[in-house]
């Protein structure tokens, strides 16, 4: 095989397909072992989020019984990890732009494992809330860090599918969380079973911590810091394959200016997100995500509670621990059935995202969520089996459409619409702003359920879903297939990347002509 040896950008090397000696490209270049390793270890963070956050819905009745919680206290327990995610995405997520992607990739999972261990031995409600909050801080940092670790390491042509595939493990974690909760309740039908639920994630978390020490640093980030030699070395480790291709790299410095090679890197402080150049991207990344989280986390955490209150298949006032555990097991089984639709939804998103586009799927998903919630709200006027079927159909439609659309696409867009120097900060801000909605709904959901009832609460969420579709359309930016090096740049980076893309297209046309 031959190899182009002129200076190129990092993404050009990642996107490049090996060529035969006659200049024609091979049919495709599979991901390297290092790219698969990064993808798998980044996927683990989303899995743990789904596992522990949605497991809280199963653990909550036992926690309520052990600590004697009221409605506001229940909201506090449900909101604590989500508020932690908000703080972590804001306070720690942007540090990946400062200290590098890999150090934060390791530190966040170490923090998660530490607070997870402490959570299992919580002696009081204040410490329980604090440990849940600390665990959420670690997961919040993972939102932007895991995304950029994947998106800055893989070819542009598969970026959407692979980022969403990793994000989809949040749904897998949600399903596993409810299933593990059910198994633990079956094996240990006592009040303390909730501690064992969380304990099941400790060993896997420690294994992920160990694995993250052996990934590469983002070559994109190293270039922004002027460390071209380190970037070249890490890029070769990332693209190590058999047979070797490329055998060497020569990187363009997009920030070099003048004959003396002086560097001028545009400012990357948080305030840049609100300038005219980036304001549209910030609004698109954050506002629809906020509106989506209002419904997804409220429905996700409190599905067992809603099913228990509506379907009426269990004792509303258990007289002993056995009755409480039985109620919780019934609700957990119902929630697990619904969580399967989250996985089906993300599979559909992975298959369609690069064909239909991010914006179209997000709008369609918001509209589908509104329809599903409307069906669930209408079921409140029904009785008997018809009510049960309508309620389940509404929640099933909601779970499918949220992962086909806004729950998946908002995460994907937040890591794609900002330039490299702002990518972690922008994605972190979007995630933290979104978690304002998650915290609000987790805290207020049990209070509002008691105050205004399930039907009116679901009707409010129908309105927020419709608003999400409208906002997405107003501030739309389609990023399907876009080279991340061109995002937010109007200078040489765009010009050089466009040149590479044009040369690739010409080479492809010549190959077809032959």
Q: How many angstroms separate the CA atoms of 135 and 81, rounded?
A: 6
Q: How many angstroms separate the CA atoms of 402 and 470, rounded?
A: 15
**Contact between 439 and 83 (Cβ < 8 Å):** yes
SS3 label, residue 88: helix
- Give the pLDDT confidence score for residue 484 in this predicted structure: 78
- Give the pLDDT confidence score for residue 23 in this predicted structure: 60
pLDDT band at 93, cuts 50/70/90? confident
The pLDDT mean for the chain works out to: 81
Helix (H) or strand (E) holding 257: strand 256-257
- Integer angstrom CA distances of residue 36 from 40, 149, 180: 6, 11, 27
The encoded tokens of residue 263 equal 């560097």
- Give the pLDDT confidence score for residue 34 in this predicted structure: 96
**Contact between 393 and 452 (Cβ < 8 Å):** no
- Percentage of the chain beyond pLDDT 70 is 81
In 379-453, alpha helices (H): 384-404, 406-414, 423-451
Lowest mean pLDDT among 72-81, 401-410, 442-451, 475-484: 442-451
Lowest mean pLDDT among 71-85, 108-122, 157-171: 71-85
SS3 label, residue 91: helix
What is the total residue count of the chain?
A: 514
**Contact between 64 and 184 (Cβ < 8 Å):** no
SS3 label, residue 477: coil
The encoded tokens of residue 378 equal 């209408």
- Reply yes or no on whether the pLDDT at 71 is more than 80: no
**Tokens 């919780």 sit on residue:** 328
- Give the pLDDT confidence score for residue 493 in this predicted structure: 35
Mark 377-416 as b/e (b = at least 16 C-beta within 10 Å): bbbbeeeeeebbebbbebbbbbbbbbbbbbbbbbbbbbbb
Which range has the top average pLDDT, 228-232, 388-392, 421-425?
Answer: 228-232
Lowest mean pLDDT among 113-117, 263-267, 331-335: 331-335
Which range has the top average pLDDT, 230-239, 241-250, 291-300, 474-483?
Answer: 230-239
- Give the pLDDT confidence score for residue 80 in this predicted structure: 87
* pLDDT top residue among 498 and 155: 155
SS3 label, residue 262: strand
Angle, alpha carbons 61-63-69 (nearest 5°): 90
pTM reported for the whole predicted model: 0.76
Which range has the top average pLDDT, 135-139, 182-186, 390-394, 489-493?
Answer: 135-139
**Structural domains present in the chain:** 33-218+278-482 (1.20.1250.20)
- Reply yes or no on whether the pLDDT at 3 is more than 60: no
- Give the pLDDT confidence score for residue 300 in this predicted structure: 61
- Give the pLDDT confidence score for residue 21 in this predicted structure: 60
* pLDDT top residue among 398 and 448: 398
**C-beta neighbour count of 311 within 10 angstroms:** 17
- Give the pLDDT confidence score for residue 107 in this predicted structure: 95
- Reply yes or no on whether the pLDDT at 323 is more than 60: no
- Reply yes or no on whether the pLDDT at 375 is more than 70: yes
- Give the pLDDT confidence score for residue 253 in this predicted structure: 81
pLDDT tens-digit series, residues 117-151: 999 999 999 999 999 999 999 998 998 899 899 99
Q: List all residues 6 or more positions away from 82 whose beta carbon is below 8 Å from its beta carbon.
A: 53, 136, 297, 435, 438, 439, 442
**Contact between 38 and 148 (Cβ < 8 Å):** no
- Reply yes or no on whether the pLDDT at 420 is more than 50: yes
- Give the pLDDT confidence score for residue 101 in this predicted structure: 93
Which range has the top average pLDDT, 143-152, 300-309, 466-475?
Answer: 466-475
Q: How many angstroms separate the CA atoms of 42 and 329, rounded?
A: 31
pLDDT tens-digit series, residues 269-289: 778 889 888 899 999 999 999
**Contact between 367 and 402 (Cβ < 8 Å):** no
pLDDT tens-digit series, residues 326-360: 555 555 555 566 667 778 888 999 999 988 999 99
pLDDT band at 86, cuts 50/70/90? confident
């Amino acid at each position: 095989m031959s190899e182009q040896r002129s200076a190129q950008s990092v993404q050009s090397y990642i996107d490049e397909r090996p060529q035969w000696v006659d200049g024609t490209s091979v049919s495709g270049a599979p991901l390297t072992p290092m790219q698969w390793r990064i993808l798998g270890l980044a996927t683990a963070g989303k899995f743990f989020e789904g596992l522990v956050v949605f497991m809280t819905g199963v653990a909550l009745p036992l926690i309520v019984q052990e600590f004697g919680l009221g409605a506001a206290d229940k909201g506090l327990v449900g909101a604590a990890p989500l508020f932690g995610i908000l703080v972590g995405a804001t306070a720690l997520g942007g540090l990946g732009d400062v200290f590098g992607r890999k150090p934060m990739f390791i530190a966040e999972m170490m923090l998660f494992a530490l607070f997870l261990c402490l959570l299992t031995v919580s002696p009081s409600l204040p410490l329980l809330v604090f440990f849940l909050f600390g665990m959420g801080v670690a997961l919040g940092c993972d939102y932007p860090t895991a995304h950029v670790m994947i998106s800055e390491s893989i070819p542009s042509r598969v970026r959407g599918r692979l980022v969403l595939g990793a994000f989809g493990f949040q749904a897998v974690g949600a399903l596993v969380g409810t299933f593990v909760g059910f198994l633990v309740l079956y094996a240990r039908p006592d009040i303390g079973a909730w501690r064992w639920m969380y304990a099941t994630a400790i060993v896997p978390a420690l294994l992920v911590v160990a694995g993250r020490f052996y990934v590469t640093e983002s070559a994109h980030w190293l270039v922004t810091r002027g460390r071209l030699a380190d970037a070249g070395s890490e890029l070769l480790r990332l693209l190590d394959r058999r047979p070797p291709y490329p055998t060497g790299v020569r990187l363009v410095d997009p920030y070099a200016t003048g004959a003396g090679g002086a560097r001028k890197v545009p400012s990357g402080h948080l305030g840049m997100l609100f300038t005219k150049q980036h304001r549209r991207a910030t609004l698109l990344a954050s506002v629809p995500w906020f509106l989506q989280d209002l419904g997804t986390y409220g429905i996700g955490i409190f599905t067992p509670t809603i099913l228990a209150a509506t379907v009426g298949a269990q004792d509303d006032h258990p007289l002993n621990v056995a009755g409480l555990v039985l109620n919780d097991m019934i609700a957990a089984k119902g929630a697990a059935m619904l969580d399967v639709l989250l996985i089906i939804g993300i599979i559909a998103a992975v298959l369609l995202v690069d064909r239909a586009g991010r914006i179209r799927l997000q709008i369609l998903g918001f509209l589908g969520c509104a329809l599903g919630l409307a069906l669930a709200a209408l079921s409140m006027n029904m009785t008997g089996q018809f009510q049960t079927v309508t309620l389940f159909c509404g929640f099933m439609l909601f779970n499918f459409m949220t992962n086909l659309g806004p729950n998946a696409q908002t995460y994907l867009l937040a890591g794609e619409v900002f330039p490299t120097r702002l990518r972690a900060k922008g994605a972190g801000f979007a995630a933290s702003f979104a978690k304002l909605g998650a915290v609000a709904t987790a805290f207020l959901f049990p209070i509002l359920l008691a105050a205004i009832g399930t039907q009116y609460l679901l009707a409010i969420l129908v309105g927020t879903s419709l608003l999400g579709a409208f906002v997405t359309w107003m501030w739309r930016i389609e990023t399907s297939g876009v080279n991340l090096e061109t995002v937010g740049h109007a200078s040489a980076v765009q010009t050089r990347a466009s040149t590479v893309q044009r040369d690739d297209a010409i080479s492809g046309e010549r190959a077809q002509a032959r």
